[in-house]
Each structure stands twice: as structure tokens, then as C-alpha cells.
Amino acid sequence: MLSIGKLGQAAGVKVPTIRYYEQIGLLPPPDRSAGNQRLYPRAALERLSFIRHARELGFPLEAIRDLLSLSDRPDHPCEAVDDIARAQLEATRARIARLRALEAELERMLAQCASGRVSDCRVIESLGNHALCTHHVEAV
């Protein structure tokens, strides 16, 4: 059995994050010691590591909830898992496309800059007037 601190250390997750995952139901409530300390079994470490890795890959919490639910049914077909991963891949590709457009716009703004005075700065001018941008860049 692991304390919350040891669990966090082993999984590379901060204690408040563990409490949050418990609160939203991604981690089941742990057993408690006689002194009311949380005590986690090895399965909690595996589940927390799964969540952490999925978050590193950009999966939203609801997708992680669905993946965990599906992982609890190992005999079911993995089509639903593939669909969730495919949706994440598409979201990642869309974000990369937005980042590339952002990169191109920043490069263009800097290329037009004559490094003179702020009053003549094309970067400031472009930021103040979106119509001067050649790419429509959404927030990333």
C-alpha cells in the first residue's frame, strides 16, 4: 500500500492532482488507515500512470474516462478505443496546422520588420490591425 505522497512520487504526479482525479472519479476512493491517511494499492499506481501518459499525449479528461472504462472490459472489441485515439490524432493534426500557420505569420511579421523605431514597427502594426495578417490564426 502506498501513501498519497509515495503514489504521486512513483507516478510523477503532484498530490493535488491525485486528489482532483479522485474527486472527478478517474481514481477510485482509496482505503484509509486508522489515522485516516489515504492508502493506495498497486492498481492505483498503474491507473494513475495510465492517466498521466494519456494526458501527456493530449487526451482530454472525458476521453481518458472513456478509455479507462473500456480498459475495465478487456474482452470487448477495441473499436471504441481506436475511435477515441483517432479523434485525438485528428485534434493533434489540427493543432499542428494552427501552429504552422502561427509560425508562418510570425516569420512574415518579423521579415517585414526593419528594426528601426517602434513607431515604424511592422510587428506592432500587424498586432494592432488583424487585417494586415496574411494567415488567419486561431488560438492554439
DSSP secondary structure string, 55-116?
Answer: HHTT--HHHHHHHHHHHT-TTS-SHHHHHHHHHHHHHHHHHHHHHHHHHHHHHHHHHH--S-
Q: For 27-86, how does the pLDDT look when each residue is reduced to its tens digit (9 = 90+)? A: 999 989 888 899 999 999 999 999 999 999 999 999 999 999 999 898 989 999 999 999
Q: What is the pTM of this model?
A: 0.77
pLDDT tens digits for range 1-31: 999 999 999 999 999 999 999 999 999 999 8
The predicted structure's pLDDT at residue 11: 96
In whole angstroms, what is the distance from residue 132 CA to residue 49 CA? 46
Q: CB–CB of 5/45 below 8 Å?
A: no
| Three-state DSSP class for residue 14 | coil
